[in-house]
A and B are shown apart, each in its own frame.
Chain A
Amino acid sequence: ETGVTQTPRHLVMGMTNKKSLKCEQHLGHNAMYWYKQSAKKPLELMFVYSLEERVENNSVPSRFSPECPNSSHLFLHLHTLQPEDSALYLCASSQDAGLAGVKQFFGPGTRLTVL
């Protein structure tokens, strides 16, 4: 299934590095999301974009910076991360950010390790 793709699939970075995660959806959706899934913890919503505008920032530290240049692409820029930021970062999309947003399609995720 290639509805939502994410690159890279795996990323190892040092605390002083700057890197970016990329997500692309091929479903014609208007809403996109970033989630974080840490070991032994539930999925946590980080950001929501609707029609390229950020509609939700779920108290995420500023070392995570999202960017949505168009409705098909979503980036998560990372800088000065901490080891506790190591997790699986999942991108998702939905038809819109309203009631249709309940049906979200997830990408395969980027497994991030911060050393």
Chain B
Amino acid sequence: RKEVEQDPGPFNVPEGATVAFNCTYSNSASQSFFWYRQDCRKEPKLLMSVYSSGNEDGRFTAQLNRASQYISLLIRDSKLSDSATYLCVVTRNNAGNMLTFGGGTRLMVKP
């Protein structure tokens, strides 16, 4: 089983749509959780951290369910510029530097 699993997509949605991505992780000792964004042929960039209480940053909402080892990202009112690959990332343990990346979910927002 992969350490971090994501549906690779692509998710094709119209502008203005709401879209949700899910991610599951296998290591119950994972401590920290993140969503990174990677544009085509570019480097990954941190989008947001994910907290157990859930957190929101503008149109983006992230949720964590530790019991189910499940992370989600919700994007509301999708923009063309949201088209990218979204990477689910967890830390392997208490070491903040040991990031494990999922394979990514590709989102394509169409006019």
Q: Contact residues of A with B, CB < 8 Å?
A: 31, 33, 40-45, 48, 50, 55-56, 90, 94, 97-109
Contacts and interface: CB of A to CB of B under 8 A. Distances in A.
B2, B42, B49, B101 interface centre (most CB from chain A within 10 Å): B101
B46 interface: yes
7 contacts: A42-B4, A42-B104, A44-B101, A50-B97, A98-B95, A101-B95, A106-B45
Contacts of B45: 106
Contacts of B97: 31, 33, 48, 50, 55-56, 94, 97-98, 101-102, 104
Given A99-B32, A104-B97, 17 more contacts: A42-B87, A43-B101, A45-B98, A45-B100, A48-B98, A56-B98, A94-B96, A97-B95, A97-B96, A98-B95, A100-B96, A101-B96, A102-B91, A102-B99, A103-B46, A104-B99, A105-B46
